[in-house]
Structure 1
Amino acid sequence: MFGAVMSDAENCRRFLEMAAGFSIERVEVIKEKSMVYHPEYKGVRLDVFARDEKNTHYNVEMQMLPQAELGRRSRYYHGQMDAETLLSGSTYGMLPDSYVIFICDFDPFGEKKYRYTFENRCLENPNLGLGSGERTLFLSTAGENEEDEPEELVQFLKYVKADLEESESSFEDEYVQMLQKAVRHVKESRELEEKFMVLEEMLQDEREEGRTEGRALAVIELLETIGEVPQSLREKILGQTD
């Protein structure tokens, strides 16, 4: 569900702005991007991969259960994203900035913060950054420092933490309301797909009798009583008449 909702460019853009803390004009989203560069080495499948207008790369992962190796996992994800960004002959200065963002339904570091941000800095002088262009963020639904974070981020994480009944309740935050609408749309679309699979056999049975076009329109009308029928599904149903 998370990947389906974030595959919408505007949903993803708003989230990235909120998480990273800066303005983003537009994003291109690739859901469940696979990266396998050699069969002998571990590949990864990113939940959500996006690029913005400045070619900054973002990987967003939903993490429901605690995992001891999240830090090293984030390092591997950064490396996997970097591996496909430079063509032969390119300079390192062309390497884009990258963000790996984990949305955790737990506190990954036990500091009761809603957001943990990491980047490469000098231990002897924390004001001296390495300039590698990579950041790793952990967003936690178990944070308690509401006074330190934007209300929009806090409300989003409360929405993520909510159980099914609570997640459908009224939230004052406009972005959460947008996500609730997107979730309902995804659920309705999946329900329509399931209904169509049941009705598809009926269309096949009617094909030889020359009445498939009328039957297809009837199926569409039936599905419309449940919710809006996506254009792709409408075309698939009508395609049964060919």
Structure 2
Amino acid sequence: MLNEVLVVMITPFDLFGYGLYRYTFQMKCEEIPELKLDDGATRIFLNTRGEHPELLPSELIELLKYMQHSTDEVSGACGSKRIQEMHRRVCQIRASEKTEVKYMQTWEEKIQNEKAAEG
């Protein structure tokens, strides 16, 4: 077995159209469905607009709602202290012009490095 890898993608829409908050995939053989490729990779797609909250822990539902609308109101409605703390830190970062400028500079440098590597 290879090292375990977890890939999580969070989308503000339902990528697969079944109304779920979470879709979990692992590799399997199309011809022999019970034959799984034990590559240690799991792919999870989270949908911020799911319709079945009873299928997931409430804290994950609150996190997805917060990711959809990162506002004081949504954060305040969360029972999770971790999400409220995350919101406090997000607000601090947003309020810090130095952090914003540093982030943008880092992002621009990353784009320039990627272009240089391509060309």
Q: Structure 2 length as normaliser, TM-score?
A: 0.70
Pick from 156, 170, 174 the counterpart of residue 63 of structure 2: 156
| Among 83, 87, 99, the residue aligned to 1:176 | 83
Question: Unaligned regions of 5+ residues in structure 1, if any?
Answer: 1-92, 195-242
Shift of 1:185: 2.2
What is the aligned partner in structure 2 of residue 59 from structure 1? none
Aligned length: 99
Q: Which sections of structure 2, spanning at least 5 residues, go unmatched?
A: 100-119
CA contact (8 A) 1:152 1:175 kept: no
- The answer to whether the 8 Å contact 1:114/1:141 transfers is yes
SS for the counterpart of 1:96 is coil
Q: CA deviation at 1:126?
A: 3.7
Structure 1 runs (4+) deviating above 4 angstroms are none
Q: Distance in 2 between matches of 1:166 and 1:127?
A: 46
Q: Which amino acid aligns with 2:51?
A: E
- What residue is the counterpart of 2:37 in the other structure? 130
Q: CA RMSD in A?
A: 2.2
1:111 is aligned to 2:18 = yes
Determine the structure 1 residue equivalent to 2:51. 144
Instruction: Please state how far the C-alpha of 1:184 moved relative to its aligned partner.
Output: 1.8
The match for 2:7 among 92, 97, 100 is 100
CA deviation vs aligned residue, 1:122-169 (integer Å, no higher than 9, x gap): 335544321011111110011011111111111111111126454454
C-alpha distance 152-165 of structure 1, shift in aligned 2 (>3 A): closer
Instruction: Select the structure of larger CA radius of gyration.
Output: 1
Write the letter of the residue equivalent to 2:61: V
**One-letter amino acid matched to 1:152:** E
SS in 2 for 1:185: helix
Q: CA deviation at 1:106?
A: 0.8
Q: 2: distance between equivalents of 1:141 and 1:162?
A: 10
Alpha-carbon separation, structure 2, partners of 1:177 and 1:165: 9
Judged with a 3 Å threshold, the aligned counterparts in structure 2 of structure 1 residues 140 and 163 are, in CA distance, closer, same or farther, namely same
Higher relative CO (Cα under 8 Å, sequence separation at least 6) belongs to 2
